[in-house]
């Protein structure tokens, strides 16, 4: 039971990650909006940076500081990407927190419903059906 619940939570976390991935702005979306290549490059750099800033230890800060200073499109893209990266990572952190809370509950002991089933095993509970009305 414990392993199947952990497995189900892992599947839910994977599905949530895939759904969140669908919320990521793509190059084609940015191009359709008329964004320049400089903006798009800045957006990608900023998104990696935002995810790192929000706690993703697998990401890294990416920022061409000279270009950020001199190129308004790169700077605007970087700032927009940073905001998206933070949002994506915060959503992933929240999903991970839910998953970890479930794992902690598994370690804490039996689920109350399981404990009730065990406690009433072998007891005739048929007379309690009248309480359902």
Question: How buried is residue 91: exposed, middle or buried, by Cβ count under 10 Å (0-12/13-18/19+)?
Answer: middle
Per-residue pLDDT at 94:
85
Give domain limits for the chain.
Answer: 2-107
pLDDT of the chain, 133 residues: tens digit per residue: 455 555 555 555 544 554 444 457 888 899 999 999 999 999 999 999 999 999 998 999 999 999 999 999 999 999 999 999 999 999 888 887 755 555 555 566 666 666 666 766 776 766 666 666 5
**Residues near 67 by beta carbon (within 8 Å), at least 6 away in sequence:** 38, 42, 74, 75
CA atoms within 13 A on the CB side of 41: 12
Per-residue pLDDT at 112:
61
Place of tokens 């800045």: 42
Per-residue pLDDT at 72:
98
Per-residue pLDDT at 70:
98
Per-residue pLDDT at 24:
73
Per-residue pLDDT at 1:
46
């Amino acid at each position: 039971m414990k392993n199947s619940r952990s497995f189900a939570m892992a599947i839910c976390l994977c599905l949530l990650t895939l759904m969140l991935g669908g919320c990521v702005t793509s190059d084609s979306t940015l191009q359709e909006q008329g964004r320049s290549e400089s903006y798009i490059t800045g957006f990608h750099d900023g998104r990696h940076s935002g995810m790192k800033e929000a706690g993703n230890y697998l990401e890294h800060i990416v920022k061409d500081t000279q270009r950020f200073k001199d190129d308004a499109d790169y700077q605007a893209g970087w700032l927009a990407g940073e905001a998206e990266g933070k949002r994506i990572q915060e959503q992933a952190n929240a999903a991970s927190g839910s998953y970890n809370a479930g794992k902690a509950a598994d370690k804490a002991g039996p689920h109350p419903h399981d404990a009730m089933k065990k406690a009433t095993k072998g007891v005739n509970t048929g007379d309690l059906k009248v309480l359902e009305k």
